[in-house]
Amino acid sequence: MGEITNVMEYQAIAKQKLPKMAYDYYASGAEDEWTLKENREAFSRILFRPRILIDVSKIDMTTSVLGFKISMPIMVAPTAFQKMAHPDGEYATARAASAAGTIMTLSSWATSSVEEVASTGPGIRFFQLYVYKDRKVVEQLVRRAERAGFKAIALTVDTPRLGRREADIKNRFVLPPHLTLKNFEGLDLGKMDQANDSGLASYVAGQIDRTLSWKDVKWLQSITSLPILVKGVVTAEDARLAVHSGAAGIIVSNHGARQLDYVPATISALEEVVTAAQGRIPVYLDGGVRRGTDVFKALALGASGIFVGRPVVFALAAEGEAGIRNVLRMLREEFELTMALSGCTTLADISRSHILTDGDRLRPTPRL
């Protein structure tokens, strides 16, 4: 294996190393996978308008998210079943994110529990949540995350039903028998209680509440004081409703293109959502980020930060914790270089005028 020079190179290594069923679970998108490709390709249609002859000898990438100071606006998205990629699973991810001085979001379908992740040492961690038909289960998960010192809830709202991922259907995907959904162990699962662990994953997926609505966001606020990020917003209409609901922030996400195919790339939906939020709550972007240039483009369109998912899992499969550290390092260094070459020394310097989108090119008059 030659020296890894960019984040994308880990995917090929992961494909070689992982069983087909595991790799396909991580890599695939919904149905035709149009949005999966578009999440990447949409970034390539945004061009830079760099400013020159600016002193860029000192660059500050620090920012704060919900009041928590982090080293860079690059955070770790929630991804399920990480021990399927590497025996260290979420432990490795937690340590790598902490070492990079950034936030990790733990999937509620993790193969390590909130307590196990907390035991890796200090770090700012968010907990991703699905709402289940049995609200007592939801409440127990939230309490568990609170007690383990997690700082926010990322509520996934684009999954009343699971998207149709054809690779998983062909492979008859099941969680390997030695793994389990650790956050559900020791909970009073009531009607959800199933003896068979490998069956638990598909069973729990079937327990996601299809009646989930904005009133449930209010309910969640009533049972926890943790800030709630609404993850899965792609329209101005829902951005306004999220603000109205009292959400602490929005994550523009299409679930890594795993839910509804033919939704726009998140980078294409971002500006609409940012405009609708009117600066009242921060907006973050999730999906398709593979380069420091992508991070810059998202911030130029108004994002307060980005989350990266698949690259973390592929690097984990390839090299464990060291792989994830390397992904976060490469993204950080590329982003710093992009800032310097664009003439920006702080995140506040990054503006809409630093980029040119397809829409801008269609406008007859130049933007001054």
Gap between the Cα atoms of 104 and 85, Å rounded: 17
Q: Annotated binding residue at 340?
A: no
Gap between the Cα atoms of 368 and 353, Å rounded: 8
Q: Annotated binding residue at 186?
A: no
Q: Annotated binding residue at 292?
A: no
Contacts of 92 (CB under 8 A, 6+ apart): 82, 86, 316, 320, 321, 324
Q: Annotated binding residue at 79?
A: yes
Nearest-CA neighbor of 46 among 334, 267, 335? 267
Q: Annotated binding residue at 165?
A: yes
Gap between the Cα atoms of 140 and 111, Å rounded: 17
Q: Annotated binding residue at 222?
A: no
**Residue 255 appears among annotated catalytic residues:** yes
Q: Annotated binding residue at 91?
A: no
Q: Annotated binding residue at 108?
A: no
Q: Annotated binding residue at 80?
A: yes
Cα→Cα distances 338→52, 73, 230, 341, 347, Å: 12, 14, 29, 5, 12
Amino acid at 298: A
Which is catalytic among the residues 86, 178, 255, 354? 255
Q: Do the Cβ atoms of 73 and 358 come closer than 8 Å?
A: no
Q: Annotated binding residue at 23?
A: no
Gap between the Cα atoms of 261 and 76, Å rounded: 23
Q: Annotated binding residue at 156?
A: yes
CB atoms within 10 A of CB 46: 20
Gap between the Cα atoms of 131 and 186, Å rounded: 18
Q: Annotated binding residue at 130?
A: yes
Q: Do the Cβ atoms of 332 and 100 come closer than 8 Å?
A: yes
Q: Annotated binding residue at 144?
A: no
Q: Where in the sequence numbering do the catalytic residues fall? A: 255
Q: Which residues are annotated as a binding site?
A: 25, 78-80, 107, 128, 130, 156, 165, 231, 253, 255, 258, 286-290, 309-310
Point out the annotated binding site for FMN. 78-80, 107, 128, 130, 156, 231, 253, 258, 286-290, 309-310
Residues in binding site for glyoxylate: 25, 165, 255
